[in-house]
Amino acid sequence: MSGVELSAVLPTFNESENIIPLIERIEASLAGVPHEVIVVDDDSPDGTSAVVARFAERHPAVKVHRRIGKKGLTTAIQDGIDLATGDAVLWMDCDLSMPPEAIPALYAALAHADVAIGSRYVPGGADARDDVPLHRLSSKLLNGYLKLLLGSEVTDYTTGFVCARRRVLDDIRLRGDHGEYCIDFLHRARKRGFAIVELPYRNTPRVHGESKTATSALGLLTTGWKYVTASLRLRLELGR
């Protein structure tokens, strides 16, 4: 046994300005909880992995895994899960749009659930990314469609703010490109009988750097079509 209760997996690409403030807030939020922070960096040109490596010299709970010749959000999160030693694993965006202060509540929710997610669409939650209004609207519409197609038990299928028990992640490996993985993971988890609970959180604008998510109408249409086809496949494969 490692003694680690919670592993926080942070997938990064060009987040050198955001990553240390994020880790500091995570560590402050998890004071008293045996934890580790695993940064999985896709060889960022801005030197994100080097920034984290220097920080980790003074913070033994922080680890960095630099991936060479391998890229992609889904595989980065999965690699982090495979490296994690905690009884539970959390992952989130690294642009400071998701509040690390919500992590203790997500972790505590695992006392009566198998998966806890942050939701923008339950009472108390909000998508406040006023810097990307088109993306905010498309996300709301997409999640409304997903509730109708896959089930209303989940309100935020594309959250990306997830905390799960180890037994769930041992049973379900992530698959799909970018945001599809979250839709796929949550629907498969629910259909396999794992209990999912949603907690509200406020999604805020990125602090530094450029968004990795499409913001143009064409980009959103392309991404949205991938989400639609992935959800239709899930409906055919597993039902509602």
The residue assigned the tokens 């509540």 is: 105
How far apart, in whole angstroms, are the C-alpha atoms of residue 182 and residue 176? 8
Q: Is residue 45 part of a domain?
A: yes
Say what the pLDDT of residue 137 is: 80
> CA 216, 222, 227: angle at the middle one, nearest 5?
120
Q: Is residue 214 part of a domain?
A: yes
How far apart, in whole angstroms, are the C-alpha atoms of residue 97 and residue 174? 22
Say what the pLDDT of residue 136 is: 76
Q: Is residue 134 part of a domain?
A: yes
Range of the domain at 111: 6-238
| pLDDT, the chain, mean | 92
Count of residues making up the chain: 240
> Whole-prediction pTM value?
0.92
How far apart, in whole angstroms, are the C-alpha atoms of residue 163 and residue 85? 14
How far apart, in whole angstroms, are the C-alpha atoms of residue 81 and residue 235? 26
190: domain CATH number?
A: 3.90.550.10
Domain total in the chain: 1
Q: Name every residue whose Cβ is closer than 8 Å to that of residue 96 and which is 6 or more positions away in sequence.
A: 18, 21, 22, 204, 206, 207, 208
- pLDDT of 215 > 60? The answer is no
Share of the chain above pLDDT 70, in %: 92
CA-based nearest residue to 64, from 100, 96, 23:
23
- pLDDT of 175 > 60? The answer is yes
Encode pLDDT of 72-104 as tens digits: 999 999 999 999 999 999 999 999 999 999 999
Q: Is residue 204 part of a domain?
A: yes
Q: Is residue 195 part of a domain?
A: yes
How far apart, in whole angstroms, are the C-alpha atoms of residue 85 and residue 154? 28
Say what the pLDDT of residue 216 is: 56
Confidence of residue 152 (pLDDT cuts 50, 70, 90): very high
Q: Is residue 1 part of a domain?
A: no
Q: Is residue 210 part of a domain?
A: yes
Q: Is residue 58 part of a domain?
A: yes
User: Which residues are registered as beta bridge partners of 240?
Assistant: none
CA-based nearest residue to 24, from 89, 73, 94:
94
- For residue 199, what are the CA distances in angstroms to 53, 108, 161, 180? 32, 11, 10, 21
Encode pLDDT of 37-75 as tens digits: 999 999 999 999 999 999 999 999 999 999 999 999 999
